[in-house]
Amino acid sequence: MNLKYLLGYFLLPFCALFLNAQNQVFFKPPAGYAVTSTDLHIHTAFSDGSVWPNIRVDEALKEGLDLISITDHLEYQPHKEDIPHPDRNRSFDIAIDRASNSELTVIKGAEITRSMPPGHINAVFIKDANKLLFPDDAKAAIVEANNQGGFVFWNHPNWERQRPDGIARLDPLHKELIRENLLHGIEVANHTTFSEEALTLALDNNLTVLGTSDIHGLTTWEFKIPEGGHRPITFVLSEDSSNAAIKKALFQGNTMVWFKDLMIGKAALLSNIIQANLTASNISYHEDEIIGEVKLKNHAAAPLHLHYKGPYTFHEDSSVFIIPPYSEKILQIKTLTRKTRLELPFTLLNGIVGAKQYLNFSVSTP
């Protein structure tokens, strides 16, 4: 094969990574808050991932993330003959060194890897991954993660290898962990899957809603980033962008998940974020017409699939329409009489607040 084509073949995914860097905020924060983009489930060659930890940092920087956690498997070490490492903190050390002098925060994490129950459990904001190694006692590892001040969540509870029917459900051990406040969150989106049942478990048990990449290969390939895709991201709504505030907000459940085109979270928080990212102009009229014009602006990286629920009809659109990311939409509204102000009620059809439940909210003109 011609050398230049061979080089192009191997360099293409890395060129795409640089050319598709995120240079706009994903979501504008509501007034008085910070919104932090995170991925809290990531693997490297130090467990069963395919890349060195520095690549995970480079990916996150190019994709515009604010915070990641390298969560290599504690017990599952398929590369140990090639990469023997007695220190389970090593991938974090390499990643944080790579992220130094950048805008990316890397926090220490690990994946407690067990059969069901409890399945795979992530612990982030921990101090020492080595102390979580309890070969014969999964609960002891979870207790130790809590003793270190860690935020602990259940990974892919719908994983077909552990739940052949794909249904997330609680076993007695999970109920015990929740009752003892040892389990704080649950993934409703993992890699390419979304679980309505996991979302129901989160809402019913006051668990924090999370979405993660669980990346093992290259994000640019697995999530088709050159074609406009993105990894699942958990956005944390906190008082400020400090690690302490982000950790506090995780424990409080102040999160929204962006999975494919879906925005998933508890209704009040999701409403706050959407209302900060969809704004309306003043209503205006042409000459003697009584068809008002309102410009809606989507400030977010996600498209907004909207269903208008109010009393009026539109001149050029049906009641269902989409505003693409970072775009504007002019609505011509048949108001029958001239109005100086309008309240526009919508259902966000890609805003998930429960199993088969969608976000209802309103936007008002100034």
Q: What is the DSSP string of 30-81?
A: PTT-EEEEEEEEE--TTTT-SS-HHHHHHHHHHTT-SEEEE--BSS--TTTT
Could you tell me which of 137, 64, 141, 69 has the C-alpha nearest to residue 103?
Answer: 64
Do 213 and 98 lie in one domain? The reply is yes
Last residue of a domain, one of 260, 294, 311: 260
Q: Looking at per-residue confidence, does 11 or 283 come out higher?
A: 283
Neighbours of 106 (CB within 10 A): 25
Mean pLDDT confidence for 114-131: 97
Do 173 and 246 lie in one domain? The reply is yes
Do 230 and 350 lie in one domain? The reply is no
pLDDT in tens, 145-169: 999 999 999 999 999 999 999 999 9
Residue 18 pLDDT class (50, 70, 90 cuts):
very low
Last residue of a domain, one of 202, 225, 260: 260
Do 159 and 282 lie in one domain? The reply is no
Would you state the structure tokens that stand for residue 254, as one six-digit string? Answer: 């102040």
For position 113, what pLDDT does the model report?
A: 96
User: 330 in a domain, yes or no?
Assistant: yes
For position 135, what pLDDT does the model report?
A: 86
Do 233 and 290 lie in one domain? The reply is no
Range of the domain at 335: 276-364
Bond preceding residue 117 cis, omega within 30 of 0:
yes
Do 119 and 213 lie in one domain? The reply is yes
Q: Is 15's pLDDT higher than 60?
A: no
Would you state the structure tokens that stand for residue 188, as one six-digit string? Answer: 């409703």
Residue 10 pLDDT class (50, 70, 90 cuts):
very low
User: 57 in a domain, yes or no?
Assistant: yes
Last residue of a domain, one of 206, 227, 260: 260
Task: Give the CATH number of the domain where residue 308 resides.
Answer: 2.60.40
Q: Which of 19-33, 71-85, 118-132, 250-264 has the lowest mean pLDDT?
A: 19-33
Q: Is 294's pLDDT higher than 50?
A: yes
For position 119, what pLDDT does the model report?
A: 97
Using CA of residue 349, residue 28, residue 108, residue 104, what is the dihedral sign?
Answer: positive
Do 202 and 253 lie in one domain? The reply is yes
Count of domains observed in the chain = 2
Q: Is 138's pLDDT higher than 80?
A: yes
